[in-house]
Structure 1
Amino acid sequence: MSQPETAGVQQTDSVERIKMSRRKSYRQVRIQMIGQRWSNQHPNRL
């Protein structure tokens, strides 16, 4: 009875971890895109 409960907790924990990593990578990609756009608009400031 206690085994399925712990398995479900581990599953949700891994899902949360995947969501966090996806959010982090998404933020990094957005920062890179914004940086590229900025360098394209202001090439003399680099």
Structure 2
Amino acid sequence: MWMLWVLTAWLVVATVAGVVLGRGVRLADRRERDAVLTTADLPNFVAVG
């Protein structure tokens, strides 16, 4: 019986992890198309050289 609880817990944890990772990937992919990033777009960037 304990094995059923372990498998259920594993399924719940895997599902939550999948949702969180999937959301992170979708947010990372959500950007403006053809947007060019420069060093001016980076926060706290100090040019060296």
Asked if Structure 1 and Structure 2 have the same fold, meaning a TM-score greater than 0.5 normalized by the shorter chain, the answer is: yes
Stretches of structure 1 lacking an aligned partner (at least 5 in a row): none
- The total of aligned residue pairs comes to 38
- Could you tell me how far 1:6 is from its partner in structure 2? 1.0
The percentage of counterpart residues that share the same residue type is: 13
Counterpart of 2:3 in structure 1 is: 7
The alignment yields a C-alpha RMSD, in angstroms, of 1.8
- Per-residue CA deviation, residues 19-43 of structure 1 (Å, 9 max, x unaligned), is 1100000000010011xx22x3555
Secondary structure of the residue aligned to 2:21 is helix
Q: Which whole-Å CA distance do the structure 1 matches of 2:16 and 2:36 have between them?
A: 34
Between the two structures, name the one with larger relative contact order (CA 8 Å, sep ≥ 6): 1
Stretches of structure 2 lacking an aligned partner (at least 5 in a row): 42-49
